[in-house]
Amino acid sequence: MATTFNGRWTPNVTVAAIVEADGRYLLVEEETADGLRLNNPAGHLEAGESLLQAVVREVLEEAACDFTPSHLVGVYLAPSSDPAKPSYLRFAFAGSVGAPRPGATLDEGIVRTLWLIPAQIEAERARHRSPLLWRCIQDHRAGQRHPLSLLHTEGPGGAF
């Protein structure tokens, strides 16, 4: 549902991890109301978090791996054409992951992690949870990288 604050439209802020290794990208397969969908490890910014803290947390929850962000790939606005559905403002980060943490479990709804080459990801576009999945990967493949120093968090929770 569209969110407002003091009568102003406010999109949901999300973070996503774009992780590439040996020509393959890390994706998660998750259960949704529309069936099994593919997505980057991604989720919502929570109160008190910086954007970097949020993306590290989301990768741990969805892929059971520690994520080390290296760059900002881009900032993406996905407005909803349906006022009853939310719009999203996504911050996508490139980085690397370590081996899965022993004993770590995947977030509820996450079925598994996958490492797919771009052709496989493109072939599965009908199962993408969001068109931003493919857009972020395309931007990453095109070499789009911005320094993390662009990001600043002030006040409580301001440490990266």
- In tens, the pLDDT along 19-45 reads 999 999 999 999 999 999 999 999 999
How do strand 88-97 and strand 12-21 relate by DSSP bridges? parallel
Cα separation values, 88 from 8, 77, 83, 130, 141, Å: 15, 6, 13, 10, 22
Rg (CA), the chain: 15
What CA–CA distance (Å, rounded) separates 93 from 41? 10
Q: What is the topology classification, in CATH, of domain 4-147?
A: Nucleoside Triphosphate Pyrophosphohydrolase (3.90.79)
Half-sphere exposure (CA, 13 Å, Cβ side) for 147?
3
For residues 15 and 132, the answer to whether their CB atoms sit within 8 Å is no
Q: What is the pLDDT of residue 160?
A: 47
138 — pLDDT class (breaks 50, 70, 90): very high
For residues 88 and 11, the answer to whether their CB atoms sit within 8 Å is yes
The pTM for the full model equals 0.91
Q: What is the pLDDT of residue 157?
A: 55
Q: What is the pLDDT of residue 4?
A: 65
Q: Please choose, from the candidates 97, 85, 87, 98, the residue with its C-alpha nearest in 3D space to the C-alpha of residue 33.
A: 85
What CA–CA distance (Å, rounded) separates 99 from 107? 17
